[in-house]
Structure 1
């Protein structure tokens, strides 16, 4: 495993880490703590030292599983969580400092920790990025020893650029993959100038970039890939990176020709992300230990060739860029 500096946090984190949205099972399933523990052990045994969770994952069960696990290991494991998505309705007006403070307190309780290495605003409405009082709260929480660092998880590049104007923002979590390339244009450059850690989520486009899906693939009722393809429940960009499913399948079929011999494209897709030095860490999810094992293989692959990178860019320009590039 290779390690990279996570911006102003100063943490040296594994370039391949773990996102725990579905760590207790498939999306929509009941949370399985035994399964979660096996996936977490697979990750850390493979060199992962950074785990990303959120208070809404499994209605708090993901945080509980992560907290219990971290205390069971001797290694230094950095834990990031998020707050804000519990708000219902999830509006700018609902974001209030005291409400967010309680969310942080609840996360500390869930995980049984005294301080959070990193707490991130969880994809708040754009207006929140224009409210200094929201960001000032985390300075007070830091002074109280409850939080070490503040980060933001964003939907749009514009939100990321606005958020890093606040000096206490140390990291940005953003969607970036072969089908969502816009962050590499301006944002990575600005993040580097401000020493911002970049956490890449949805690096496999909700599994689309594994190359294992087809038109006949089905998803369970509680799986966002079933009910949120057009943004019915939350931002469409979280599901298949906002790419139309059939269009994505067509693009993946061409990717398979670029990378023959790979039954599973996931390691290649992750290796593509790691080619960008603006990226600090990737947090692909896993609902089984073997998926975590597959993710870790990306660290062993050689860099993509110039020809392969060019071919990926051509497929992106043909299928994806005209449809989604400007949206996020």
Structure 2
């Protein structure tokens, strides 16, 4: 049975897309009505307009999100932004925009939500009497170092708060903006308060430009690993997501280049296509690699029990079946050959203490 095509709304021809992953804005799964562009039959030339990025401001009451998933090694995380301008077509976080009444397609990468007051809110949360310290993960949903960060600096503010409180943090990013924060990251690393993961999906610059249109080029991400490592920051390369039939043949090359650049640990995740992501990714395949579209979707389905997505815990990150097992074995063999450590070591939770503020009662001891 063919996994193509998916029923996506037609692209509005009046829109000019420049460096975007998705080509349309399918209605979110919670919306009661469908919306799509339809030609009205009149041959009236309308002005073409470039789809630009829009930013809204959110003032959160709390910023620490808790989770109990057995698939991830953290129980709390922070997202400085909702949506991501990097536009990675495969991003599993795209469906989160449906909770805002927006599309997981173009809206996810063009209608962003920033949280500039997040550092102040975080400082209040960390000072609560009942707070129990544990590493906070940042970048597990949308990228904290997407282009908007260069202007707003929300991530920088969060790091300043975490550093002042001696609070451990793990960061996952593909944004070169992380190099701006080498000063604070290296200082935190000296106190065993930070690990950084850099995501590398492919080393093929042309493929990356199409698949991750506003993310840094592969060579830049390898340079990020090198500069972070030289600054004394423990770095893990994330070969993620691995896309069977499209990027999985690059696994060994990605790990080798990252190890040469100084990465000490490595991780790998299989592509996930939850909810709206599956039709968006299938549409992207048809537009950019049409001759390989069926093969790629078929290979994904082979690792997902015949479906394009498996939401079950444990298997959703790794897949199942012969091909998934072979991919995992290749990863394990490469990690041993290249000398990657299993983990980057425990972060120090014993240093945590809110810094003194004006008006605080001074200690007698």
Does TM, normalized by the shorter one, top 0.5?
no
TM-score in terms of structure 2 length: 0.36
Normalising by structure 1, report the TM-score: 0.39
